[in-house]
Structure 1
């Protein structure tokens, strides 16, 4: 990384790429002060900033690798930057010489036509260029489109409508089509603004520790570096390859329903009963009882059932989150030990999670984190026989609680998902079962990759909508995958059913078709199971689902090869088209199709009522339509018939897996 000085400023260049351009009449840095208003309501946030000061630091003095910034010559230095690195990697360390600074804006040089991706898990827009993205972990919202009725109703009833940028998993990291990556090391509220042609503006509500930069000649090399930086995940457990994980929350009746699903020819690797802890009923629907141990009334003799299932090669999975209900058995135990976050008066902080209150286990307290990992997850879950679980609600840290490490909860809020992932991973590791137990999370932030073995896409609506339906899962997989998250999946059929919005048979079938071409297939009954169609309630849906599980299992040899690539190179299983077709600029903005590894292209049907589907096939290869064996030239738009059970899938001509892929036609 080089600093090239000019008569009135400097350029910062990394491997031939202009990163910062500073001139006295066009500064790259602004500092100041802001007074933020933040309000949290059940995981949804209303955030507004009153900017008291935003001052351009027009004067820069370069001394070797150090740059001192002030507003004008002769005025005090307000911010100092320390540059370090080599030709391909660089870091910009920040030091505030003015303690009053709590806002920073830095402008990164941009080019017209440049594309940017990342930002954690972005659900609405894969290519982030042209929009501003606040980076704050929260509920993603219902509808996520302010022009729709469902979003309006969600906003009115629970402040939960959301917008395009709301996400469970933000991360202040992006990759550019100029083949460099940028990461901001901070947990404070921040935002990426990509709306200008000549610069990207990064906003941080603090002085960040540093900005990290990496340049590589190819996108694959960049992704490999990202996975090394944030930590590679363990391989998928061997048992997952046996088929789908069936989500049932019907008490003891779940096992009878499982048998009917298996009898229909479904390949099953696990049964996931999130209600293993019991239920409570609220206006939102049936909610779990947040006291993390088996409920014998709802699941009699569960331990024996788990052992019997495992003998048949079927694992049992449950559910947990980092909060404890006040009316549960674990709450008094944790409170007596002082393991909860507290309020202003020093008492246990209670949070309303929707008609019931909970305490927040304080993971900044090492003893509390160790207690939860051992007492709750280790003893009550792993030792009981669970082979996995949904680790939910990492984005819910209230912003007004007091924590053991004395760091402001507003600063710890984004860090919370990573701490939560670490607690889960610690429990698994304590039993020597890393790579065998599978827990999955929707919340994330920088570093979650190292601890969480599998992402899930959160709570999509049970529909085909542009900002909250099936298609958003693809964008989420692609954006998070570029940052080291190799494994991603979603609730087949969606989750959120509100305001009369319910599943159709078509939605479940199209979602299952996509799920067969992801690392893990898993169903969910949704927040209102009785109102929504389930896979075992319609013979056509069940037969279709069973067939798609056979497709998934048929592809296991290929999936295992992709898992090996994830382990050795950090490449995600689901990949943007440009990752292997850099020379084809049309691939840079595609977000409704993906490469499943290097050799399969999947373009899921993501709209209702379609009998044909069009997609783009990248230039540089010929492509074979899996179901008809017809070959298409790359660099062209194609349209194919899409009867149920034959999603738009193409394989690269000449691949060593051609025989395996061709075998899909016989299933």
Structure 2
């Protein structure tokens, strides 16, 4: 990268391509101040901003000093720029404490594509839209034209929109083969709508902006994840089969597990999220947020876990960083003073839907260690092999006082990283890294190296465009572009409201996709009695047995892809252009993906289809189920339930394995 600065003119170029530029006619930095209004209702945020001043900051002075270029932006902000081969870092220092709004523009090209910004569920290519970056509930329906979204908005302020995400990341990757990272945890809005520039808005002067480039996309992700951090490798046992989500106590949960095993379903684990007890609300069946096993529902759980282990099956539970006020652990935390408080000194309680909980103050090192000890004692200590690490996005922002002394508007997007770190340290300090898996929906900058597995959150139990099956494909691809290359979802979706119930078709379309992801895990959903459950259906058990068989046979291949994610930052589920960068069509595809290098999956995400349109990049492709060979282009292939369009590269070193799968499970 090269820097040019003269007078009020500045340019940063990469191999002759302009990335940043400033002049009197074309400002690069804007600054000002504004007043926001933030309302939270059960994790759903309504954020409005009134910008009171926005001023372009011309470059008044530039000078070389100690190997860096120092720029004076309007006497308000100092920028210190250092460039080293393929990486440039601009460190900012505000000279005006009144500045709480910051904008920076980057050069853009009309045909450019942009990816990342954490987990984006509606759109993989971000170009043409803007994306507010704030962790929260992702929303129900997420499409303002639908009945489900409208009803969710009216009743619970929970409808959501295309940009709502639990994992915002102030990092994006450009098709021009660079990534940009803004070092900040403040609210941000990355705007990619202009054909001439990208404009990043941040509600503080960021500590720095980092831009790094590479000659190829795999090399670029290697550099990006070396900076952001890489996920640990998944435990090998997660590839032994299905993680069965069941609840209702020992008799029901372990009875269903034995039933499906007897039907041939390969089980890696049994996941009982209600191991801690249950609550019933108008939303559906919820949990008792007091993180120790419930003796009435789960009897002698430690012994039952040991029995599962003897059969080669793991047990998983559930934890989140909040404690219900009628629980044992809440009383302990209150006595120790480990909850966040209001400005009047009282403990801050959050309404999680007909029950109130204390916010464990993870910015307090003593509270952090105490809660880590809860995980170590009550989960790991009784042999639990994994858990859903839920609700990292719920930190309120109104009238809450944290031990760090920082405003909640700054700590809010940092909260998921602290929660991930708490889980990571509990696992690592007990010697269980690589043995235990916890999965999170919330994330933020720094979460990558602490999160063993992402999960896509609470999709609707349907085929809807913005909240159904297809959204988890975009979610996996966008996560993979920002360092979270281990991703999975609730098979069949989770949210069933307003008459929207899960069908057998949507469940098995989801399951057949999940067989070609790093982890297969079911969820009964928020209203399990209303929705299809495969264990109640003999044909459903047979179908699941077949899919878990395929998943298990893929284990050697997926193991290599999981290792590449850890060592090189290459996600397990990959955008097509990562390996076919010369194919323009690959840059706009968000409903197909490569599983590792050699498998291409095109999940069926619409109802009632027996055939499916598939685009194949330039290679020699073999249809997994029939053995028929295909080349580059659009193809219509059969897609009966249970036979999703999947292809493998003819020259793959795993071709024998794929042929064996076809011989066992093919059409």
Task: Answer yes or no: same fold by TM over 0.5.
Answer: yes
Query: Are the structure 2 counterparts of residues 638 and 60 from structure 1 closer, same or farther at C-alpha, using a change threshold of 3 Å?
Result: farther
Cα distance in 1 for partners of 2:91, 2:71 equals 10
Equivalence for 1:604? 603
Q: Is the 8 A contact 1:14 1:90 kept in 2?
A: no
1:68 to 72, 79, 87: 72
In 1, Cα distance between equivalents of 2:129 and 2:646: 31
Shift of 1:573: 0.5
Which residue of the partner structure matches residue 616 of structure 2? 617
> For 1:6-54, what per-residue CA distance to the aligned partner results, in whole angstroms no more than 9, with x for missing partners?
5652212234331211120221111000000000100000000000000
Give the C-alpha shift of residue 58 in structure 1: 2.8
**Pick from 147, 150, 159: which aligns with 1:149?**
147
Counterpart for residue 548 of structure 1: 547
Contact 2:245 2:523 in 1 (8 A): yes
> 1:362-398, CA deviations, whole angstroms, 9 ceiling, x for partnerless residues?
0000000000001x10000001110000000000001
Is 2:34 aligned against 1:40? no
Q: In the TM superposition, what is the alpha-carbon distance from 1:612 to its structure 2 partner?
A: 0.1
Question: Distance between the aligned counterparts of 1:261 and 1:334, measured in 2?
Answer: 40
Q: Distance in 2 between matches of 1:544 and 1:52?
A: 59
Q: RMSD of the alignment, in Å?
A: 1.0
What does 1:396-475 correspond to in 2, within 5 Å? 396-400=394-398, 401-475=400-474
1:18 maps to what in 2? 18
Provide the residue aligned with 2:323 in structure 1. Answer: 324
2:7–2:62 CA contact under 8 A, matched in 1: no
Name the counterpart of 1:219: 217
Q: Secondary structure, in 3 states, of the residue corresponding to 1:250?
A: coil
Aligned counterpart for 1:640 among listed residues 633, 637, 642: 637
- Counterpart of 1:247 in structure 2 is 245
Q: Which residue of 2 aligns with 1:228?
A: 226
Shift of residue 560, structure 1, vs aligned partner: 1.2
SS of 2:31's equivalent in the other structure is: strand
Quote the Cα distance in structure 1 between the aligned partners of 2:559 and 2:60. 53
Query: Match for residue 650 of structure 1?
Result: 647
Matched, 1:3 2:3: yes
Q: Distance in 1 between matches of 2:212 and 2:116?
A: 14
Pair 1:585-2:589 in alignment: no
Partner of residue 50, structure 1: 50
For structure 2, which runs of at least 5 residues remain unmatched after alignment? none
Query: Counterparts of 1:420 and 1:316 in 2: how far apart (Å)?
Result: 22
Q: Distance in 1 between matches of 2:116 and 2:424?
A: 24
Structure 1: how far apart are the matches of 2:417 and 2:528?
Answer: 30
Matched-pair contact (CA < 8 Å) for 1:494–1:526: yes
Match of 1:106 in 2: 104
Q: Cα 1:301–1:307, aligned 2, differ >3 Å: closer, same or farther?
A: same
* CA-CA distance at 1:331 after TM superposition: 0.5
- Give me the whole-angstrom Cα distance separating, in 2, the residues matched to 1:55 and 1:559: 51
Q: Tell whether the 8 Å contact from 1:264 to 1:546 is kept in structure 2 after alignment.
A: yes
Report the Cα distance in structure 2 between the residues aligned to 1:510 and 1:194, rounded to whole angstroms.
Answer: 33
Secondary structure (helix, strand or coil) at the match of 1:414 reads: helix
Tell me, in whole angstroms, the C-alpha distance in 2 between the residues paired with 1:8 and 1:369. Answer: 48
* 1:540-579: CA deviation from partner (whole Å, max 9, x where unpaired): 2221111100000010110111122123212111000000
Residue 89 of structure 1 aligns with which residue? 87
CA distance in 2, matches of 1:435, 1:161: 37
**Structure 1 residue matching 2:106: 3-state secondary structure:** strand
| 2:536 partner SS | coil
Deviations 1:71-93, CA, capped at 9 Å, x for gaps: xxxxxx11111001302011011
Task: Report the Cα distance in structure 1 between the residues aligned to 2:15 and 2:204, rounded to whole angstroms.
Answer: 29
Deviation at 1:632, TM superposition (A): 0.8
Q: 2:4–2:12: 8 Å Cα contact kept in structure 1? A: yes
Other structure's SS at 1:527 match = coil
CA offsets, 1:443-486, max 9 Å, x none? Answer: 00011111011000000000000000000001110111112112
* C-alpha distance in 2 between matches for 1:219 and 1:287: 43
Match of 2:508 in 1: 509
The answer to whether the aligner puts 1:379 opposite 2:383 as a matched pair is no
Measured in 2, the distance between the counterparts of 1:381 and 1:335 equals 21
Structure 2: distance between partners of 1:268 and 1:85: 51
Which deviates more, 535-544 or 476-485?
535-544
Q: 2:363·2:403 contact (CA, 8 Å) conserved in 1?
A: yes
For residues 141-540 of structure 1, the aligned pairs below 5 Å read 141-252=139-250, 253-374=252-373, 376-400=374-398, 401-540=400-539
Aligned-pair CA distance for 1:3: 2.3
Q: Distance in 1 between matches of 2:574 and 2:255?
A: 38
Match of 2:121 among 112, 120, 123: 123
SS in structure 2 of the partner of residue 45 of structure 1: strand
Give the SS at the match of 1:94: strand
TM-score, reference length from structure 1: 0.98
String of CA shifts for 1:475-523, please: whole Å, max 9, x gaps.
Answer: 1101111121121000000000000100000011110100000000000
- Secondary structure (helix, strand or coil) at the match of 1:536 reads helix
**Does the CA-based 8 Å contact 1:438-1:453 persist in structure 2?**
yes
Aligned-residue offset at 1:230 = 1.6
Q: How far apart, CA to CA, are the structure 2 residues paired with 1:249 and 1:656?
A: 41
Where does residue 73 of structure 1 map in the other structure? none
* Aligned structure 1 segments of 4 or more residues deviating by more than 6 angstroms: none
Q: Aligned equivalents of 1:68 and 1:539: distance in 2?
A: 71
User: Separation in 1 of the partners of 2:8 and 2:227?
Assistant: 35
Say if 2:278 and 2:285, in contact at 8 Å, map to a contact too. Answer: yes
Provide the aligned length of Structure 1 versus Structure 2: 658
* Cα distance change on mapping 1:407 and 1:8 into 2, 3 Å: closer
8 Å Cα contact 1:15-1:88 kept in structure 2: no
Distance in 1, matches of 2:8 and 2:329, equals: 63
Match of 1:79 in 2: 77
Task: Find the aligned partners of 2:41 and 2:60 in 1 and give their Cα distance.
Answer: 43
Unmatched 5+ stretches in structure 1: 71-76
Please say if residues 373 and 426 of structure 1, whose CA atoms lie closer than 8 Å, have aligned partners that are also in contact.
yes
CA distance in 1, matches of 2:563, 2:175: 26
Shift of 1:271: 0.2
The superposition leaves residues 379-424 of structure 1 with CA deviations (integer Å, 9 ceiling, x where unpaired) of 0000111000000000000112100010001110000000000000
